[in-house]
Amino acid sequence: MALSESFVTRRLAVFTLGGDTLLTSYGANCTAFAGSRGTLLVDPLIAPAHARILAEALARCGFPPVTQVVLTHHHTDHTLGAGWFSSHGAAVIAHERCATEMSVHHASIIAERRATPALAALFADAEPYAPSLTFKDVFRIDLGDAIAEARHLGPGHTAGDCVVLFPSEGVVACGDLVSSGYHFNYEDADLAALPAVLAALERFPVAKFVPGHGPSGGREIVEEQARYHRVLAQIAAGAKSAEQARSAIRAAFPEHRLEFAIESALIRLRH
C-alpha cells in the first residue's frame, strides 16, 4: 500500500493512500504540521494499520513525534487511525458532537467490519476510543513556535464538524466539508446549513485549502464544492427517477471518485 505525501508548505504535508475503497481509507487526507513541541495531525485515516504506515512516513520525512490529533468529524476514515496515536500518548481533540457520534456508532461499525472477511485483517486491532479533549466553538492548540486553531463553523458535512486553521502557514484543513474530485457523502449532512458554512470557509484568510479527499488547492476548490451541491440539488429536483438522477450526476461529474456516495445524494436530496 503506497502512502504518498505532498508538502503544502515547508512544515505542513498531506498524506494519503489514494484510491476510493475502504482498504485505502477512501483516499482520505491526513494533514501533518511540525511545531517545535511536536507534530499535530488532522484525521489520521481509517485504521491502526494505516496509522502505523503514517507514523513511519512521518519519521522518514523528519516530523517530530505526534503530540496532538484533531478529528474534523466522526466518519471512520478520519478517526479510527487516531486511536493508535492516542494509545501512543497523543491528545485527541474533537468537537463535542463528533465525540458523541463516535461513542454511538464506532463499536458496531468496527464489529461489523471484523465480521467481514475482506476487512477483518485491517480492523483486527481497531478499537473504539473517546477523544481526550472536546470543544464547542474554537480550540486553540499551542505548538511551541506556532499555533493551530480548530473551529466549528456550524453543522455541515456532519453535526460535529471542525476545520483546522494553520495561521503561520496560510493553510486550512477542511475535512469533508470540501471534497476535491470525490463525490460528497450526504449521509449525515445538514443540507440547509452547507451553503453558509462553505461561504464562511471561502472567506478564511488563507491561500491553501486541504480537502477531506483529493488534491489541495486555492479558494476555487471551495467554490467548486458549493457548485457541486447546487448542481446535485437541481438534478435531484428535476429527475423523474432515482436511476435518471444517478446517471445525470455521473454525467455532470464524470471524473469523480467514490461513486457509491451518489446513493447518499439520492436519499437525502430527492423528496
Interacting residues toward Zn ion by CB under 5 A: 75, 176
Q: How far is the CB of 10 from Zn ion (least distance, A)?
A: 29
Q: DSSP letter at 63?
A: P
Q: How far is the CB of 108 from Zn ion (least distance, A)?
A: 17
Q: How far is the CB of 11 from Zn ion (least distance, A)?
A: 26
Q: Which class for 127: exposed (0-12), middle (13-18), buried (19 or more C-beta within 10 A)?
A: middle
By beta-carbon proximity to Zn ion, the closer residue of 63 and 182 is: 182
- To the nearest 10°, the Cα dihedral for 51, 42, 260, 265? 160
Alpha-carbon distance of 179 to 27, in angstroms, equals: 10
For 116, residues 6+ apart whose C-beta sits below 8 A from its C-beta are none
Closest CA to 146 of 58, 69, 36: 36
Task: Give how far Cα 12 sits from Cα of 18, 23, 43, Å.
Answer: 18, 25, 14
By beta-carbon proximity to Zn ion, the closer residue of 110 and 146 is: 110
Q: How far is the CB of 161 from Zn ion (least distance, A)?
A: 9
Q: How far is the CB of 176 from Zn ion (least distance, A)?
A: 4
By beta-carbon proximity to Zn ion, the closer residue of 43 and 169 is: 43
Q: How far is the CB of 262 from Zn ion (least distance, A)?
A: 15
By beta-carbon proximity to Zn ion, the closer residue of 75 and 95 is: 75
Alpha-carbon distance of 60 to 130, in angstroms, equals: 29
By beta-carbon proximity to Zn ion, the closer residue of 67 and 216 is: 216
CB 81 within 8 A of CB 110: no
By beta-carbon proximity to Zn ion, the closer residue of 45 and 239 is: 45
